[in-house]
Amino acid sequence: MSERRTEEPPRTRVWVSEPETPDRSIVEATGRHWEEWVDLIDAGPGREAGHTAIAAWVLSEHGLGGWWGQGVVVGYERITGIRAPGQMPDGTFSISRSKILELSADELRDAIVDDGTRSRLVPGFQTVLRSRAGSKSPRFSLADASGEPLGVILLTLDPAPKERVRVTVTHEKLPSAEAGATWKEHWGGWLEGLAESFQALGR
């Protein structure tokens, strides 16, 4: 039995953007290179079919569902230009910034889920908590002072060495890649000052 070839084949097309999953990983998980998947999907449902229809076809015709099935479709959309980097299936964009801070994850989570302290940690905006009580990753909607929606924020708090916490801000439902770049810079600055802002709460 011959050993399966894992080297990436020559590209037969211009890739609009790189998929998040490298070619070696996709061939090890699915048995096919990215170039092969693009050829298959182009010959199958095609580029006009839409995300849901392509995902259903990948599952029904190739038995690939779940995380890897979605990964194939998203990679295909990135390569062919259907989906821009950071773009979600509904057409909106999402960005993330993270930083390790010397804070208590539990205390920070409690401050975010409390309406009063959240308004002090995220000043200048209207926020409404969207996550369930006790959620480990608080989610809240964001709006400007006039109430104009600005997307949805997911705050993920992961333990880090030396009793610290990795705080990741994911900003969802953005209208464009340009808006994503602006907000990515904003949340980078917010994370830089978060420890000081938290200490100012007197908690």
CATH number at residue 117: 3.30.530.20
Q: Which of 31, 64, 85 is the last residue of a domain?
A: 85
Q: Are residues 74 and 147 in the same domain?
A: no
**Is the pLDDT confidence value at 140 over 60?**
yes
Q: What is the mean pLDDT of the chain?
A: 90
Rg (CA), the chain: 21
> How many CA within 13 A on the CB side of residue 105?
20
Q: What is the pLDDT of residues 193-203, one digit of tens each?
A: 999 999 998 76
Q: Which of 65, 85, 105 is the last residue of a domain?
A: 85
Among candidate residues 49, 55, 12, the one with its CA nearest the CA of residue 34 = 12
Q: Are residues 105 and 16 in the same domain?
A: no
Q: Are residues 103 and 130 in the same domain?
A: yes
pLDDT confidence of residue 78? 87
pLDDT band at 1 (very low <50, low <70, confident <90, very high): very low
Domain that holds residue 164: 93-200
d(CA 61, CA 199): 55
Among candidate residues 157, 128, 155, the one with its CA nearest the CA of residue 140 = 128
d(CA 195, CA 111): 12
Q: Are residues 186 and 105 in the same domain?
A: yes
DSSP lists the bridge partners of residue 143 as 126, 149
Q: Are residues 135 and 45 in the same domain?
A: no
Q: Are residues 45 and 124 in the same domain?
A: no
Q: What is the pLDDT of residues 18-74, one digit of tens each?
A: 888 999 999 999 999 999 999 999 999 999 998 899 999 999 999 998 989 989 998
